[in-house]
Amino acid sequence: MLQLKEQKKILRREFLAKRAAISHDERDRISHELIQKFLATEIYREAKVIMAYASTPDELQLNELFAACFKDEKILAIPYIVSKGEMQAVEVPSFDALEIGAFNILTVKSELRNFIEPAQIDCVIIPGAAFDLNGGRLGLGGGYYDKFLPLAVNAKKIALAYDFQLVDSLPTEEHDAKIHFTLTLERSTLNEVH
């Protein structure tokens, strides 16, 4: 029997390879439809402070969500890496405040950084390799969200995902942070996971 860490590593590789195989046009179409679906939820409408992530090329693209937050006058935050395995939420006042940072990922310009306490966040959009029907998440291996999410005590924790990323169950460990909902084009666990 493979050890849990090794199982997770193999699964992560498989899911990320599938994700990388999606064409940019298809990725953009699915991103648009998923964001529209999310914007129609009560969770989005009621949230005042939303944390999302700055997408890498293979991930669902969230710029449309950023634009909606600015238009709807919500406070938007993205992760800011403090040290290995540790991140904070930094406010994004506008697209102009962003620049390319470490790992070629967008970050907020240093002179504009305003950090937000995790407990102030109403909703966190969480990246990952895969998600399951019980709120399990196979992350990207850095452990950042597993440490951060327990601090965001008032936040709904949500994944926007490709359909293939939502599976019945995943191998998880005790320290793996759970999420509340996964939204894909075909399915939603909005009513299944509590």
pLDDT for residue 190 is more than 80: no
Strands 106-108, 98-100: pairing kind: antiparallel
Q: What is the pLDDT of residue 192?
A: 43
Kindly indicate the confidence band of residue 2, based on its pLDDT and cuts at 50, 70 and 90.
Answer: low
Instruction: Work out the average pLDDT over 95-116.
Output: 91
Residue-wise burial string across 149-186, b where 16 or more C-beta atoms lie within 10 A, e elsewhere: beebeebbbbbbbbeebbeeebbbeeebbebbbbbbee
Which DSSP category does 153 fall into?
T
Residues 108, 114: Cα–Cα separation, whole Å: 9
Residue 111 in tokens: 């002179």
Sign of the dihedral through C-alpha 117, 100, 71, 145: negative
Q: Which domains does the chain have, with CATH numbers?
A: 4-183 (3.40.50.10420)
The candidate with the shortest Cα–Cα distance to 148, out of 98, 100, 194, 81, is: 81
Amino acid at 68: A
Instruction: Work out the average pLDDT over 147-172.
Output: 95
Amino acid at 50: I
Residue 105 CB neighbours (<10 A): 16
The candidate with the shortest Cα–Cα distance to 108, out of 76, 147, 72, is: 76
Q: What is the pLDDT of residue 82?
A: 87
Residue 140 in tokens: 């990207």
pLDDT for residue 137 is more than 50: yes
Instruction: Work out the average pLDDT over 62-83.
Output: 96
User: What residues does 161 pair with on adjacent strands?
Assistant: none
Q: What is the DSSP string of 133-161?
A: TTS-EE--SS-HHHHHGGG-TT-EEEEE-
Q: What is the pLDDT of residue 187?
A: 82
Instruction: Work out the average pLDDT over 67-78.
Output: 98
Sign of the dihedral through C-alpha 115, 180, 52, 172: positive
Q: What is the pTM of this model?
A: 0.93
